[in-house]
Structures are given as C-alpha cells and as structure tokens.
Amino acid sequence: MFRFCTLSLALLSPVQAFACELALVLAVDVSGSVDNQEYRIQMDGMAAALRDGSVADALVEQQALVTLIQWTGSSRQRQTVPWTQMRTYADVLTLADTIETDQRIWRNFSTAVGEALEVARDAFGAVSHCTRKVIDVSGDGESNEGIEPATQRPVLRDAEITVNAIAIETDDADLTAYFFENLITGPGAFVVTANGFADYPEQIRRKLQRETTRQVTSVAK
C-alpha cells in the first residue's frame, strides 16, 4: 500500500504503473535574497541541465520520477511541479519546459532550509516504491528561520533519503562549508559550489550529471 501526497493526486495512476529507480526532488531557493533575475537563472539553468544528454539518458534509463519544490521562509514551501515520470526523452524535454516556465510564488521571505527538507521528505510518500530517493537543494544563504536543517539529518537517514546541495556563494559566508556541516546526508552525499548565480547553470548541470548516475555499488552509511 502506497502513502500518497495530496499534492500529487493527479498523477496517482502513472506513478503506480511504472518501475522507478530514482525519485528526485529539485528544491529551489526563492527567498528574499534571490532577485527575479537570479530566480530566472536558477529555473533556466535547471531546465538546460535536464536537457543535457547524459542527464536525460540517466533519468529515462532509471524511469525516474522528478518534482520541483519552491521554498523560502517558514511555512512557505510548495510543490509547484508535481511528480512526473521520465519514461522517454520527450518526457524529460517536457519537464524542462515546465520548469523553465514555472512562475515564482514568493519573493520577500526568509530562508527556512530545515522546513524545505521536511516538505521534500514528506513528498516522497507519493513515490515510496522508488529504489533511490534524492533531494537536490539549491540555496544562496544559511537557514535563518524555522527548524534547523541539521535536526532533519537523522530523520532523512532513517528514511534512506540522500540530500545533496548546490551552494550559490554570493559573499564571504562560506555557504559550501555550512551545507556540508548542516545539510547534506546519506551515502555519497555532496555539495557543489557555484561562484555566484552566473556560475549556477554550469554547476547545476554538473550536479545533476553526478546525482542521476545509476548507483551500481552499495555505500555504507
């Protein structure tokens, strides 16, 4: 018996009907520190990364299910692109187009990384049959509201969910180290650094190439 997320009810039949080796949550920072141009860079960069041949091939090969969550301050996280299965290359291109045109829903709120993780974790209830579960977090700042992200790490490990991150460095705060120490978790978890938003498209492409690669060996937790 599957547990289903209410935000994904429209996709219940497709989600149940196909095998799935990878469930991937793309969690995108839309907090107040991200201006509209930077938001567009994130969404356009994400879409371009999905169109990369190696990423698209990996998603189809694993019959991946992918969703996108916009997140910002406490109680402001939403699954704006529902779970979508990558059965064919055309499905990947359609998802990329959907993400490229996904409209921003918040602009002026804080950064609640811990709650973003909580919402992403709950979203996996709709795709519990998938073999591997990964949260891909993009962010340009440390958590400054809501539950601390570090408190979510044992819960995520127990649920066998891996969290990777892309740290968008915009000042001297060393966000990469913060994400490494407080956010990522699970076998092979990693942080990729983008040196400002201009570097984001290239780094999110590299990140998706890495995390969509099929795992062929077990890694001890």
For residue 219, pLDDT over 50 is answered with no
Tell me the per-residue pLDDT of 69-107, one tens digit each, with 9 for 90 and over: 999 887 789 999 999 999 999 999 999 999 999 998 877
For residue 138, pLDDT over 90 is answered with yes
pLDDT of residue 18: 65
For residue 4, pLDDT over 70 is answered with no
d(CA 36, CA 155): 33
What percentage of the chain has pLDDT greater than the value 90? 71
Higher pLDDT, 154 or 6: 154
Tell me the per-residue pLDDT of 142-192, one tens digit each, with 9 for 90 and over: 888 889 999 999 999 999 999 999 999 998 889 999 999 999 999 999 999
Q: Which two tokens stand for residue 42?
A: 């994130």
How many other β-carbons are positioned within 10 Å of the β-carbon of residue 121?
Answer: 18
Going by pLDDT thresholds of 50, 70 and 90, the confidence category of residue 196 is very high
Count CA within 13 A, CB hemisphere, residue 57.
Answer: 6
Q: What is the pTM of this model?
A: 0.87
For residue 198, pLDDT over 80 is answered with yes
Out of 16-25, 97-106, 206-215, which region has the weakest mean confidence (pLDDT)? 16-25
pLDDT of residue 188: 92
The Cα-based distances of 6 to 3, 11, 121, 125 in angstroms read 10, 10, 14, 10
For residue 16, pLDDT over 90 is answered with no
8 A C-beta contact, residue 156 and residue 32 = no
